Chain A
Amino acid sequence: MTEFRFLHTSDLHLGRRFGNLPEEARGLLAAARRDIVRSLADAARGHGAGHVFVAGDLFDTETPSDQVVRHALNAMGADPAIGWWIIPGNHDSLAAEALWDRFRRDAPGNVRLLDRAEPVEIAAGVSLLPAPAVWRHSGRDLTEWMVSAEVPEGNIRIGLAHGAVQTFASEDGGSEIIPPDRAETARLDYLALGDWHGHLRIGERTHYAGTPERDRFKHQGPGVCLAVSIAGSGAIPHVEPIRTGRFDWVDVEMPVTTEMEAGDAVRRALSTGGARREDTLLRLRATGWATLDQRLELSAAVSALAPDFCHFDYDETELATEYNVEDLDAIDVGGALRLAARALLDEASDKSLADDQRRVAEAALVRLYTIVKEDAS
């Protein structure tokens, strides 16, 4: 029997809109998401795979717009040589009757919705065991039936499921747990899982593909799908991630010390980032201690770099300010300005006051420093 090759993907979340990002980034990300089906088809062709298994959450919600559904179906139907095998996930469970009614009605022949927990022989000698999510929260392990499922002798058994494995919490905090040894107990050659948005290997036969286009800072690096090839029933599958995501979501911590030169710190922090800055969404988290001067310099350096990126988020909430006499002197060595600065500093460091009030006082002090500095230059 010839080697069976397929593409494993999940969590496309088509229709997601990224409302928490600025308008420009939002548009780019939405466009990338729209194009992801085509990228997957390309990847399948590149891998020589005739089948794409979508392990749930093809759509972001139970009621995606007609346009989203139609675009997806059209993209899938563009190459009839590739078979698309889809199970609903928690975001687009079978409870979304209207969605799936439409889907069934409009789907081209090479796109199949697997809405029943029963084996499907998708190719000669290959049986697919789907575990479609019936409800958003099914409250039970949907893969359990696979253990007793019978398929023709010698067929490759491939499980397709959506949900969390015992070893980590679900992305959506669900309580339905898939045992990590399900592939073994159900004699599966491969268990294709969805739900976790990053690529994750649970065992040699069990993988999370992760989303092909990342959508948050939680998972580093661009999105991938898994190209899997199985030599035959019982063979260890060969799994290879293929980059499909356009955008890189990078979350960088920038440790700062008072001795550090601000420009250097920023440069060092960004040296690890992806090469294509325009396709990078960067979250730069400054931590540690900085002087008032450093803060100004850091802000300036960050402001200078930000336009390079698709999206740049500078977070300095964890960056504490170290004040010294020179800082106050820089504002004024005496007189009313010094008096005001002193009052703000006292308020900022008065532990008996409410955090908010202290934060405001500190920010006011930094602002005063900034204004005085700008005024001097």
Chain B
Amino acid sequence: MKLRAIRLENVRRFTDRVEIVGIGDGLNVLSAPNEHGKSTVFDALHALFFKDRKSWDRDIRGLAPHAGGEPCVGVDAEIDGAACRIEKRWAKSRNGELRVWKGGQLFKQADEAEAWLASIVKAPKDGGPAGLLWVRQGLTSLGDDGDAGRSARRDLMSSVAGEVEAMTGGRRMDAALERCVEELGKYLTATGRVRADGPLKRLQDDVAALAARRDELAGTAERLRKDLERRRQVRRELEDLDAPEAEEERRVRLRDAREHLETARGHAEKLRRTREVGERAEKDVEQAQERLEGLLKLRAELGQAARDLEKARESSSRAGEDLSRADAVKAEAENSHAAARAAAEATADALRRATRAEAGATAAARRAELAEILRSAEAYRSQMEEAAADARRGITASVLEKLETLDREFRAAKRALEAGASWVSVTYDDGRLGAVSLDGAALAGGERVSVTKPLVLVLEGIGRLTVNPGTGADASTVESAGEAFGAALAAAHVDTLEAARASARTRRIAEQKMRDAKAALDALAPQGMDRLREALAALPEADAADADAPDRPTAEARDRAARGALSEAEAAFETARTALGEIQRRSALAEQAVETAEARLARARAALPVTDDLDGEIANREATLERLRVVLATASADVESLTKDAPDLAVAEAAFARAESVLRRTGDDRQRLRLELGQLDVKIDMSAGEAVEEELADTASRLENARTRLAALDFEVALLKRLKSALEEARASARDRYVEPVKRELVPLLRLLWDESDLRFDAEDVLPRSLIRNGHEEDYSVLSGGTREQIALLVRLAFARMLAKTGSPAPVILDDAIVYTDDDRIERVFDALTRQAQDLQILVFSCRQKAFRELGGRSLSITRAALEVAPTR
């Protein structure tokens, strides 16, 4: 169905007939401010399709204007390709009218028309899906339309995917799952842990308790068994111990061992004594031998000491002789040495004198020479000083040159002045010659006087004539040149240039003279006069002439010979002295050796025993030693023979100790075993009646039984868990499949708003349950108003598409359905709307005129109807 026009009359504020015409395919927007009747249009349309013509309930009464009147609503629609007109009028008398025209002909009316209308707006079944395509102002949430809405959605879904009951198992599934959960709840908590007060836990506890009891009993039984075994063993051991023949055997063994031990001990004592005798003899022999050796050594020492003393004394006397000889040699060498030293001193003195004489002669010649040079040098110096004084009196060449230059300039200036200057000349009348004077001098007639300066001419008898040169001739240059020249002359202390020239010549000659004298002086005394004088002073004064001084070569030869002799004498003396020292040392050593030998002899003598007869004593001692050796040999032989056939004492002792200990231990064992037997008897008697094994067998079989039951219970739990998971999985997958068609339509729209988003549906209500954005799931109820509103809109669009696909397209009518949405998001919502509008008819009523201008689509308006439209009745 597609709407083409809507007409209202007597509907709330529209008491007059109004119409909205030109509703096109796709998107249509009726944008008007509040209170312009948009919702009225919406409600009227809704009433037309869903309110029976005979009703006059609150909704219909709400449509009537305040002034009263019967509301009338009509639409032009295109249904299955045919143009239809539907008009419904409600009446207070509850007998409203409904007429349908098709192709201009009245098609149906009254109840038949109602039935037809119902079939149009309701999809395959009653409560069809049309309702869900209406979005009333402020009704943004999908669930707000209650059971009717749900059943409409479910019907639509069912028409596409099948019955939800059939899909998800419905109540039977719920019941099965509930039963399963309930059964499972007996054993496990909701979180899957074993329920503390449940049968599973009780059985587990039973098993644990029985197992513990079983282990405990097994332990007790094992202890009892061991005790019994031990008692048998103890009894057997006691029997063995108490056997009389064994006891007798033990006693006999002890007696034998004791006898044997005593024999062995007697023998051992005898051996010990014999050994003592032998050891004593051995010691005596050693002692005697030691003493004898001492005497023999002493005798040898005495002889050796006497011989050594003799030899030392001989050496000592020989050393004394050598000493006196060496003394004599040394005295002689000493004398020779003194004589040689005297001779050498004499020759050295002679040589000194000869040398001094020769030096005196040389110095005198040199002094004369130096004095001559000094004299010449003095002469040159005075010459030089005179010349220098002369030179200082004349004019220098440079001063002269300056004078010359100034002179030339002065003369040049004079000439230049005169050449350019005015001139006066007088031509005297006869008689008047000389009447004109200048500067006191009469001016010659005809003489030109250059006026280079103001001239005052005295005209005799007349007065004074002043001639001024004016600017044409300036005499100042000449004057200054003349002044400069004059000043230079004065400075040079000359009067004329000629005198200056003569003075300069005189100075040049004097300077030449001075230079010559200085060169001569420098040649004589290159290092100055003072050095000459010093050299002269350094020369030795000549001694008084040593007439008998020998000549130097001779003196030198004599001196060399004397010194050679002296050094030989010195060597001889040193040799003699050294030899004497050595001989003195040897002599001292020899004397010391004598003393040592004497002391050694004295010591040897002191060591002599009192007896005088040393050799006799030695013989005596040798005899004693021999006797003692015989005693020792006898003792050794005795020990050897006794040791050879001695019984083993240690073995005898051990045998006796063992025999004794066996007897003792037998007693101890008997005592101990009897005690243990008593204890065991008590223990066994006490536990034998406790039926431990009976109890154990019973507990073990109970445990086995409990375990079997536990296994059965575990199996039951596993079964229930498996069943629960199977049911839940199946239901979840069935629900997913059920909502699949709407999701197929919805998800592309959703992703216009949120990338990668998804919506989870509640299969029962066919409502979105949660939104998944960026992998994060948010419950629908916690989403913002705007988001919810957008989702609600998109879901309706999705349903509309599904409806269109089932072959019964219906217009989507939105009355201010987008109120919470911000401007940015609204763009995308518009995109979604535009996209859907390509094959759906969408009517948007909005008060947000500005925002919705961007939506595009066909613009609608409510206009006053041109003429009475109601077709012929």
- Taking A15-B691, A360-B719 as contacts, is the C-beta distance between A60 and B734 under 8 angstroms? no
- Taking A344-B723, A367-B720 as contacts, is the C-beta distance between A336 and B733 under 8 angstroms? yes
- Taking A17-B701, A339-B730 as contacts, is the C-beta distance between A332 and B169 under 8 angstroms? yes
Q: Are A336 and B691 in contact (CB under 8 A)?
A: no
Q: Does A151 contact B (CB under 8 A)?
A: no
Q: Which of B674-719 contact A (CB under 8 A)?
A: 684-685, 687-694, 696-705, 715, 718-719
Q: Are A62 and B693 in contact (CB under 8 A)?
A: yes
Q: Which of B132-174 contact A (CB under 8 A)?
A: 165-170, 172-173
Residues on B with C-beta less than 8 A from A15 are 691, 694
Shortest CB distance B764–A (Å): 12
Q: Does A372 contact B (CB under 8 A)?
A: yes
Q: Are A68 and B691 in contact (CB under 8 A)?
A: yes
Residues on B with C-beta less than 8 A from A20 are 701-702, 704-705
Q: Are B719 and A364 in contact (CB under 8 A)?
A: yes
Q: Does A321 contact B (CB under 8 A)?
A: no
Q: How far is the CA of A336 from the CA of B175 in the complex (A)?
A: 13
Q: Are A60 and B723 in contact (CB under 8 A)?
A: no
Q: Are B700 and A335 in contact (CB under 8 A)?
A: no
**Contact check: which of B691, B722, B734 meets A364 at CB < 8 Å?**
B722
Shortest CB distance B584–A (Å): 120
- Taking A62-B693, A64-B691, A340-B727 as contacts, is the C-beta distance between A360 and B699 under 8 angstroms? no
Partner-contacting stretch, out of B62-70, B224-232, B458-466, B532-540 = B224-232
Q: Which of A324-377 contact B (CB under 8 A)?
A: 332, 334-340, 343-344, 359-361, 363-364, 367-368, 371-372, 375
Shortest CB distance A62–B (Å): 6
Best-buried of B231, B685, B697, B700 by chain A (most CB within 10 Å): B697
Q: Are A97 and B719 in contact (CB under 8 A)?
A: no
Q: Are B691 and A360 in contact (CB under 8 A)?
A: no
Q: Does A63 contact B (CB under 8 A)?
A: yes
Residues on A with C-beta less than 8 A from B684 are 97-98
Chain A interface main SS type? helix
**Contact check: which of A63, A65, A340, A371 meets B729 at CB < 8 Å?**
A340
Q: Does A238 contact B (CB under 8 A)?
A: no
Of all chain B residues, which has the CB nearest A92?
B693
Q: Are B701 and A98 in contact (CB under 8 A)?
A: no
Q: Are A97 and B232 in contact (CB under 8 A)?
A: yes
How many residues of B are in contact with the other chain, CB < 8 A? 51
Q: Are B701 and A102 in contact (CB under 8 A)?
A: no
Of all chain A residues, which has the CB nearest B683?
A98
Of all chain A residues, which has the CB nearest B685?
A98
Q: Are A63 and B221 in contact (CB under 8 A)?
A: yes
For chain A, the bracket of interface size reads 35 or more
Q: Are B228 and A95 in contact (CB under 8 A)?
A: yes
**Contact check: which of A63, A96, A344 meets B726 at CB < 8 Å?**
A344
Q: Does B603 contact A (CB under 8 A)?
A: no
Q: Which of A207-246 contact B (CB under 8 A)?
A: none
Q: Does B176 contact A (CB under 8 A)?
A: yes
Q: Are B734 and A339 in contact (CB under 8 A)?
A: yes
Residues on A with C-beta less than 8 A from B170 are 335
Residues on A with C-beta less than 8 A from B698 are 17, 19
Residues on A with C-beta less than 8 A from B689 are 63, 65-66, 102
Q: Are A375 and B691 in contact (CB under 8 A)?
A: no
Q: Are B719 and A367 in contact (CB under 8 A)?
A: yes
Q: Which of A36-65 contact B (CB under 8 A)?
A: 60-65
**A-B residue pair count with CB separations less than 8 angstroms:** 142
**Contact check: which of B228, B697, B704, B726 meets A340 at CB < 8 Å?**
B726
Q: How far is the CA of A5 from the CA of B180 in the complex (A)?
A: 66
Q: Are B694 and A61 in contact (CB under 8 A)?
A: yes
Shortest CB distance B202–A (Å): 15
Residues on A with C-beta less than 8 A from B165 are 335
Shortest CB distance B132–A (Å): 24
Residues on B with C-beta less than 8 A from A361 are 722
**Contact check: which of A95, A334, A339, A367 meets B733 at CB < 8 Å?**
A339
Q: Does B280 contact A (CB under 8 A)?
A: no
Q: Does A99 contact B (CB under 8 A)?
A: yes
Residues on A with C-beta less than 8 A from B722 are 344, 360-361, 364
Residues on A with C-beta less than 8 A from B685 are 98
Best-buried of B180, B224, B689 by chain A (most CB within 10 Å): B689
Q: Which of B172-225 contact A (CB under 8 A)?
A: 172-173, 175-176, 179-180, 221, 224
Q: Which of A151-183 contact B (CB under 8 A)?
A: none
- Taking A335-B167, A364-B726 as contacts, is the C-beta distance between A375 and B172 under 8 angstroms? yes
Q: Are A364 and B179 in contact (CB under 8 A)?
A: no
Q: How far is the CA of A339 from the CA of B561 in the complex (A)?
A: 155
Residues on B with C-beta less than 8 A from A332 are 169, 172
Q: How far is the CA of A228 from the CA of B718 in the complex (A)?
A: 57
Q: Does A18 contact B (CB under 8 A)?
A: yes
Q: Does A277 contact B (CB under 8 A)?
A: no
Q: Which of A69-117 contact B (CB under 8 A)?
A: 95-99, 102
Contact with A along B460-491 (1 / 0, CB 8 A): 00000000000000000000000000000000
Of all chain A residues, which has the CB nearest B168?
A336
Q: Are B692 and A63 in contact (CB under 8 A)?
A: yes
Residues on B with C-beta less than 8 A from A61 are 691-694, 696-697
Q: Are A97 and B730 in contact (CB under 8 A)?
A: no
Q: Are A368 and B176 in contact (CB under 8 A)?
A: yes
Residues on B with C-beta less than 8 A from A96 are 228
Q: How far is the CA of A248 from the CA of B172 in the complex (A)?
A: 46
Q: How far is the CA of A178 from the CA of B698 in the complex (A)?
A: 30
Q: Which of A277-291 contact B (CB under 8 A)?
A: none
Best-buried of B702, B703, B726, B735 by chain A (most CB within 10 Å): B726
Q: Does A16 contact B (CB under 8 A)?
A: yes
**Contact check: which of A68, A340, A364, A367 meets B730 at CB < 8 Å?**
A340
**Contact check: which of A17, A65, A368 meets B690 at CB < 8 Å?**
A65
Q: Are A19 and B701 in contact (CB under 8 A)?
A: yes
Q: Are B701 and A336 in contact (CB under 8 A)?
A: no
Q: How far is the CA of A130 from the CA of B720 in the complex (A)?
A: 59
Shortest CB distance A166–B (Å): 28
Q: Are A17 and B726 in contact (CB under 8 A)?
A: no
Q: Does B796 contact A (CB under 8 A)?
A: no
Complex A-B: 18 CB contacts under 8 Å: A16-B694, A17-B694, A19-B700, A19-B701, A19-B703, A20-B701, A61-B694, A66-B689, A68-B694, A335-B165, A336-B168, A339-B730, A340-B726, A343-B726, A364-B722, A367-B719, A375-B172, A375-B175
Having A65-B690, A337-B176, A339-B734, one finds 8 other A-B pairs with CB under 8 Å, namely: A17-B697, A68-B691, A97-B684, A335-B165, A340-B730, A343-B730, A360-B719, A375-B176
Minimum-distance CB pairs A-B, first 3: A98-B688, A65-B691, A61-B693
Interface on A for B, CB 8 Å cutoff? 15-21, 60-66, 68, 95-99, 102, 332, 334-340, 343-344, 359-361, 363-364, 367-368, 371-372, 375
